[in-house]
């Protein structure tokens, strides 16, 4: 699958992957802080953003998409950063195609399985009658019946697009709804990835726990685990300057 992507900056290649319900645009502010040091490739993963939709949606397929992207761009290797779902994609990619990975940054996710915990968001998105929708305000009002946090609603509404007078979701909502268990899938491998890996969690998030260290050590023995102060799961939005500084230190500016 040929993924949609945005390219900016100059220098060593750094590929960035967003999380569930996200898109390349979510990481543009981080990219702006790195573009003097890196050539950044911000990708829309399959079934997200402006990339194609598919009935197949799992980490094996998404890692394959990443390999196809690398080959199409003529990149023999690069550094990779993935947040949440994107973090699992880049972990799977590094374990499957280790020679293509220079450095790996995994943002607020571990390789272990995660229980489904997006039911309310999916219920809210599916409650929007997209075919009769007349305005973005109408969509937000419906989401507000399920999601009290305005910031989360605004994030989700970035997926709402309008073309030829009709609204549509950029995300492949039917497939994501049906296969939501796949996003929490455990990342496994018979052989560890020996390269340098940074696990960058949010200090106020429980996505990377101390109990995850054993699994991380087994798959990624050359790892560093840090937590960004005063940040939750959306660490790049909550503490962008700290994230940028951390990335420059780890990847080398």
Which is the catalytic residue, given 18, 48, 83, 233?
233
DSSP 193-209: --S-EEEEEETT--SS-
224 carries an active-site annotation: no
Q: Give 224-242 as a DSSP string.
A: EEEEETT--TTHHHHSHHH
**Which among 194, 198, 237 is positioned nearest to 219, based on CA atoms?**
194
Distance, CA of 220 to CA of 194 (rounded, Å):
6
**Catalytic residue among 84, 205, 231, 236, which?**
84
Rounded CA-CA distance 194/214 in Å is 15
Q: List the structure tokens of 143.
A: 């989401």
Q: Is 233 considered catalytic here? A: yes
d(CA 193, CA 96): 9
Give me the residues paired with residue 134 across strands: none
The HSE-up count of residue 143 (CA atoms within 13 Å, CB side) is 23
| Active site residues per annotation | 84, 233
């Amino acid at each position: 699958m040929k993924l949609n992507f945005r390219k900016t900056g100059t220098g060593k290649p750094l590929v960035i992957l967003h999380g569930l319900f996200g898109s390349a645009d979510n990481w543009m502010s981080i990219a702006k802080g790195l573009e003097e040091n890196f050539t950044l490739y911000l990708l829309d993963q399959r079934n997200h953003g402006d990339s194609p939709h598919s009935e197949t949606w799992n980490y094996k397929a998404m890692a394959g998409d990443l390999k196809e992207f690398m080959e199409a761009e003529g990149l023999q290797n690069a550094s990779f950063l993935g947040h949440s779902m994107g973090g699992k994609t880049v972990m799977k990619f590094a374990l499957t195609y280790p020679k293509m990975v220079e450095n790996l940054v995994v943002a607020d996710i571990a390789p272990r399985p995660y229980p489904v915990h997006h039911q309310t968001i999916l219920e809210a998105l599916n409650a929007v009658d997209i075919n009769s929708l007349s305005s973005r305000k109408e969509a937000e009002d419906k989401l507000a019946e399920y999601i009290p946090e305005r910031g989360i609603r605004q994030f989700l509404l970035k997926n709402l697009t309008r073309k030829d007078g009709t609204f549509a979701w950029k995300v492949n909502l039917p497939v994501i709804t049906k296969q939501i268990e796949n996003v929490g899938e455990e990342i496994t491998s018979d052989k560890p990835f020996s390269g340098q890996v940074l696990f960058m969690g949010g200090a106020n998030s429980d996505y990377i726990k101390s109990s995850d260290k054993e699994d991380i050590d087994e798959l990624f023995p050359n790892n560093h685990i840090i937590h960004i102060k005063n940040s939750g799961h959306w660490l790049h939005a909550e503490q962008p300057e700290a994230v940028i500084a951390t990335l420059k230190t780890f990847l080398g500016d």
